[in-house]
Amino acid sequence: MNSSPTAVLPSDTRHPVAVGVGPVSAAELVAVAREGRQVVIEPEALTEIARTRAVIDALAGDSVPHYGISTGFGALATQHISADRRAALQSSLIRSHAAGSGTPVEVEVVRGLMLLRLSTLATGRTGIRPATALAYAGLLNAGITPVVPEYGSLGCSGDLAPLSAVALALTGEGMVNDSTGELVTAAVALAAAGLTPVVLAEKEGLALINGTDGMLGMLLMGLADIGELLDVADVSAAMSVEALLGTDRVFAAELHALRPQLGQGISAARMAAALAGSPIVASHAGPEDTRVQDAYSLRCTPAVHGAARDTVDHAARIADRELASAIDNPVVLSDGRVESNGNFHGAPVAAVLDFLAISVADVANIAERRTDRMLDAHRSHGLPPFLAYEVGVDSGHMIAQYTQAGIVAELKRLAVPASVDSIPSSAMQEDHVSLGWHAGRKLRRAVDGLRRVLAVEILTAARALDFRAPLQPSPVTGAVRDLVRTVVAGPGPDRHLGPEIDAVVDLLARHAVLGAIAPVLGAAPTTGVDHHDPKES
Residues forming the active site: 67
Q: Residue length, the chain? A: 537
Helix-helix angle 107-121:213-243, to 10 degrees: 130
Residue 332 pairs in a beta bridge with 338
Is there a contact between 271 and 237 (Cβ–Cβ < 8 Å)?
yes
SS3 content of the chain, % helix, strand, coil (to 5): 55, 5, 40
The whole-angstrom separation of Cα 439 and Cα 212 is 12
The whole-angstrom separation of Cα 404 and Cα 383 is 20
Closest among 232, 198, 248, 227 to 94, alpha carbons compared:
198
Helix-helix angle 301-323:26-35, to 10 degrees: 90
The whole-angstrom separation of Cα 342 and Cα 412 is 32
The whole-angstrom separation of Cα 139 and Cα 143 is 7
The whole-angstrom separation of Cα 208 and Cα 341 is 16
Name the pairing type of β-strands 331-332 and 175-177. Answer: unpaired
The C-alpha angle 326, 332, 334, rounded to 5 degrees, equals: 90
Give the number of other Cβ atoms within 10 Å of residue 511's Cβ: 12
Q: Which amino acid is at 88?
A: A
Q: What DSSP string describes 267-280?
A: HHHHHHHHHTT-HH
**Residue 71 in 3-state DSSP?**
strand
The whole-angstrom separation of Cα 52 and Cα 349 is 28
Give the number of other Cβ atoms within 10 Å of residue 18's Cβ: 14
Give Cα separations from 69 to 50, 76, 92, 330, 531 (angstroms). Answer: 17, 13, 13, 9, 37
Helix residue ranges, H only, 61-210: 86-97, 107-121, 130-141, 160-170, 186-192, 204-209
Handedness of CA 451, 452, 455, 460 (dihedral sign): negative
Element (H, E) at 401: helix 398-414
